[in-house]
Structure 1
Amino acid sequence: MKSTVVVLLLLGSLKSFSQEIKNPSPKPDSSIQLDFESAKAITNLFTRTKTSDAELEQIANLYGSQQLIKKVSSYDKTGTETVFKQTLRDMVESKTVKGNDPFDWKAVKTKLPEIRQLIRQLETKPSLVSDVKALIAPYSPADLKVTARACFLVGGGSLGFTIGGDDTFNVALQKIGNDYDGLIYLVAHELYHTIQQVGERNRTKQKTATAPPKPIINTYILLANLWAEGSANRVGDFTKIRNPGKFSESQQKDYARNGARARQNFALFESLLFSAFHDSTANISELYNIGFTVAFDETCYFTGYRMATVIEEYRGKEVLAGLINKDPIEFCQLYIAIYKQFPDKNIIRFSGSTEAILTKMDAWKNKF
């Protein structure tokens, strides 16, 4: 969950600590590589009292560690590789971080027993990948081939994230505790983003002679993320967990809170969309942060989730799966078509101005 996909549609050996599990059925011909190397190295280090420059360098160069450093440095300029190594040393040798703790090692340390238990489960439980694929399969095109890496990390402030178009999704174990079921649903959400990326790359596009105007680009970013996060929230739907652990329970509270204010969430998204489309000076980063980050409770995740739920109810899972190979604008168009077909149902409608924006955006379908 909680990934930054703003660029999704615009744009070392692992033998010791990872495993690759392939889908036994020919459709889809996909595989998921599970990478615990960085998490295991760091948690093992935290059980000791001494480390060396060479060891810290080796840990920093691990694939997962590099993913973490890139993510943390994207929102905290102090989150460099040098600080990664120095703060790790502080945590091991002084049992605390002196000053700023951008990688949140203190939180990792407090959760160390639970994290190590979860890593052991990930290494030994054979049903992990099959459990995740069982959630994803109904929402994925049958012939889509996906090769992805699930990178389980410790440290940083993000719960889960992807970086650019890389077919790697990252999950922070210190935020999960020992909630294995919650982890399955979170991994399903993040893996679905990788499937969306593959679909985006395979999509037939029409090249434009010139770059689209800035307001069109900004509007498309919001629409793309509405579909991406809303659909992923539907795939990794925490409300389906019957006996939630602490992490899952907190996620279910997010679903309930946003469900109770669904109409206000729609109004907020429509305001962001209006600003993006009509104001060429609008700061898309700020608009995105309002709708798709924890700064405002990720409200647009749940707007998209409600739309995906309506589409599934009235058109079926296979239609949601088919949207993987289509332009994100069609997600909104399909939702509008449903509430116009069933005007007597309690389906939240977009305003006339939002429908007008989407009509104008139709000319830009398949051009990003």
Structure 2
Amino acid sequence: MNIFKWVIFLGLSLISVMAFSSAKVTDKITIDFESADRLVDILSGDKVSDNQLDKLMSLQGIQATIHQTSRFDNKASAESFRSSLIDVVEGNPVKNDPFRFQQLNERLSEVEDILKIIKRNPQQYLNSVKRGIGDYSPKDISFDTNIFMVVGGTSDGWAQDDNFYIALQYFKGDYEGLLTLSTHELYHVAQSNFYGKGKNPDSNCEKILNQTRLEGIASIVGSPLNVTDGKEYTEWFKKKFKRNLQRIDSNFVLFETMLFRACIDSSLDFDKIYQLGFSAVWDSPLYFVGFYIGNRVEELKGRDYLISLLQESPSAMFKAYIKLYKDEENKDLIKFDKPIEDIILAI
């Protein structure tokens, strides 16, 4: 099956996947709107007081936004958050805007609209997101989490410390797109409750494997390819998937290069190499290596088998994939080069 045909097959199969839920997700999930509400309220005015800023900066959603943005932009800090917000609100020239407040200011009405949709029926939002993660989780998985609706920053969504955060300005009123990304991020919280760990989880070698499977399977769970009534954000998301799947061979080469470096160089700063494979700056190419491998394992061995692999160490899914492509019947699968095979099989 060539890559183009596989992408078509995948789009069709995902439609059927989302038609049922194999696991019942039992949990306590809360939605926190305070960070978004307070920041939207401040940007809607023309002055901001120290008291308003102090209250805003104390909120968990704001602190998490600052932390997440600083991972990819060294100009992002609590001080630059405060100063750039004041400049945008008061109409001063903005020299440094790492949290994209100017862009956010232009999208306030879209943010307010999507906030109204969620607040009108928050349980419907939660039910939709929970239903999406059940297909790739063990039966009766249970966990608690908090969803923080935030605005500002450079990430549309991320998970951190068993909570997840959604930045509303990126969706431009696209509620279906919001649900898709929320499902991806909620699944990250679920992953921490049942995914297996390796013997050396702090090694860069295992981190590459783990991040590739975490993001790859979350991208299967929260895929836009089967969404039929999304808007601009969904269409952008679909194009990102299709673009990466069309160049999946090159993405595999990058994965091999990063894994080789990570496994032989113990002095490597993981945060520097992380951005190449897992940040939007470079189109998150390793997400789609994990996406491709997870889908092909499921296609050939079944979803229950894939879920069982996820409960083992990070290398288990990759070892199973190597075994599959060594079978002559599966010769259409993308293969790792021999040195990379040896590294994975030795972990």
Alpha carbons 1:140, 1:324 under 8 Å: kept: no
1:60 alignment partner in structure 2: 57
TM-superposed deviation, 1:278: 2.8
1:106 alignment partner in structure 2: 102
* Among candidates 252, 264, 284, match of residue 250 of structure 2: 264
TM-superposed deviation, 1:169: 1.0
Deviations 1:83-141 (A, max 9, x none): 323322222222x5532112110111111111100011111123111111121101011
Give TM-score, length-normalised by structure 2: 0.87
1:76 alignment partner in structure 2: 73
* Among candidates 232, 235, 238, match of residue 246 of structure 1: 232
Distance 1:227 1:205 in 2: 13
Any unmatched runs of 5+ in structure 1? 1-25, 207-211, 362-368
2:303 alignment partner in structure 1: 317
Distance 1:344 1:338 in 2: 7
TM-superposed deviation, 1:243: 2.9
CA RMSD of the aligned region, Å? 2.3
Deviations 1:160-180 (A, max 9, x none): 1223xx111111111111110
Question: Which residues of 2 match residues 83-232 of structure 1 at below 5 A?
Answer: 83-94=80-91, 96=92, 98-125=94-121, 126-163=123-160, 166-200=161-195, 203=196, 217-232=203-218
Distance 2:87 2:73 in 1: 19
Deviations 1:166-223 (A, max 9, x none): 11111111111111001111011111111111225xx5876xxxxx6x9x91111100
Find the residue that maps to 1:148 and give its secondary structure.
strand
Alpha carbons 1:158, 1:172 under 8 Å: kept: yes
1:20 alignment partner in structure 2: none
The question of 1:338 aligning with 2:324 is answered: yes
Identity score, percent:
31
Alpha carbons 2:25, 2:141 under 8 Å: kept: yes
In structure 2, relative to structure 1, the CA distance for the partners of 1:27 and 1:266 (3 Å cut) is same
1:19 alignment partner in structure 2: none
Find the residue that maps to 1:146 and give its secondary structure.
strand
TM-superposed deviation, 1:285: 3.0
Number of residues paired by the alignment? 325
Any unmatched runs of 5+ in structure 2? 1-22
Distance 2:331 2:70 in 1: 47
Alpha carbons 2:255, 2:277 under 8 Å: kept: yes
Distance 1:115 1:323 in 2: 39
